[in-house]
Amino acid sequence: MEFDLSLALSVVALFVAGLARGFIGFGAGLVIIPVLAVLYGPVEAVLTMTLVDIPATLYLMPTAVRHANWRSVAPLGIASLFTLPLGAWFLTYVEPEDMRRIIAVLVISAGIMIASGWRYSKTPSKLLTVTVGLFSGFLSGASNIGGPPVVVFLMAGRNSAIEVRAGIMAYFSFSVLFRIVIYLAFGMVTLAIFWLAVALVLPYMAGIWIGARAFSGVSEKLFRYTVLGVVLTMGGVALFR
């Protein structure tokens, strides 16, 4: 059997991405999309990431249900559903390089806000919550990297690390199945993409399992620094690769 270097690199990327997803609740797309985009193309990368995230979402759902602050997360998730189709349409028409630069700038900006330690002085308004959800939904549909706006929003509040992580997981549970429906409606999912996703599910889930167990007992400070490191690193990779 001929060695498939692209598949081997993808397996490594999915495992590393799973570690991030299990530990901090997001970051998988920030790892997977740049790698798969180079190996298979930007559209294929986004669709494959969405497919492999379905079992991951189901696995992490119990944690999200128990610990998420649903009063904050539910409006974010519901609002995101309205702009996901627009983002998916945008993905099929915009030049990949232009989209990559836009996403990179937004991700790095999110990292800078986290690093600043900025917090809300009062409870965020419903308008702000819905706006963040709409913006994140658009990014999710266009690039599968809709996490940073939600991460900044949740971390700027008074939520604990457990609540932030669970809130991110809960938010993604809103979008992943809806994204699949939208991509199928646009005829974007092919048999080749489906089988690639099947081949990559096991290393991804293995990384998530290890990352989730590593999170147990982690300090608030370490959690915030880890989130910051993932956001800034992947924003830089997306900008300069």
**3-state helix/strand/coil string of 60-119:** HHHHHHHHCCHHHHHHHHHHHHHHHHHHHHHHHHCCHHHHHHHHHHHHHHHHHHHHHCCC
User: How many domains are there within the chain?
Assistant: 1
Count helices and strands (H / E) in the chain: 10, 0
Specify the higher pLDDT residue, 158 or 153. Answer: 153
Range of the domain at 45: 5-240
Tell me: the pLDDT tens digits for 37-68?
888 887 888 889 889 988 888 888 887 778 88
Average pLDDT score, the chain: 80
The pLDDT of residue 135 is above 90: no
